[in-house]
């Protein structure tokens, strides 16, 4: 997991989660909003490997590594990130998956260009939020740059 930008004024952290999923070849952009206790994960499927929705266990493990790390170098590098998490541990993860790559001819087999799903960390399961509730929490994180 890499932190690209921490913004303490907005209580947000942006970055990239690397080497998750099958064969550790998936990568996803993320945005953490401390006030809402929501971890947004954006998956454009360009990595052509395990989707973020199917990597939830790996993603939670990466979050836990950052929160519980005793590595002083890591803590110093992610100081803003760790302080936001220690005060406001996430209660849910919202996954945004571009579905256009899942169907033939550039069409979504789900009938929508962006599939949004929520995972509740207390329930340890995907939750039954209505589409309106999920879209109300939507954050456009396309501005998060994935470094090469």
Q: What is the mean pLDDT of residues 112-129?
A: 71
Whether 106 has a pLDDT exceeding 50, the answer reads no
pLDDT at 86: 54
Closest by Cα among 26, 108, 33 to 62: 26
pLDDT tens digits along 10-66: 777 777 888 777 777 788 888 888 777 788 888 877 777 777 778 778 877 777 776
Query: CA–CA separation, 118 vs 93, rounded Å?
Result: 6
């Amino acid at each position: 997991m890499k932190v690209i930008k921490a913004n303490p004024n907005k209580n947000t952290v942006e970055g990239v989660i690397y080497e998750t999923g099958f064969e550790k070849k998936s990568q996803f952009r993320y945005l953490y909003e401390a006030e809402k206790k929501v971890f947004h994960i954006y998956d454009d499927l360009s990595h052509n490997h395990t989707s973020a929705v199917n990597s939830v266990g790996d993603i939670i493990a990466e979050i836990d590594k950052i929160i519980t790390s005793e590595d002083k170098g890591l803590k110093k590098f992610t100081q803003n990130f760790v302080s936001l998490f220690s005060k406001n541990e996430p209660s849910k993860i919202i996954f945004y998956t571009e579905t256009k790559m899942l169907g033939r001819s550039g069409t979504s087999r789900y009938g929508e260009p962006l599939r949004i799903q929520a995972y509740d960390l207390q329930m340890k399961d995907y939750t039954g939020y209505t589409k309106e509730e999920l879209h109300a929490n939507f954050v456009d994180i396309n501005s998060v740059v994935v470094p090469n």
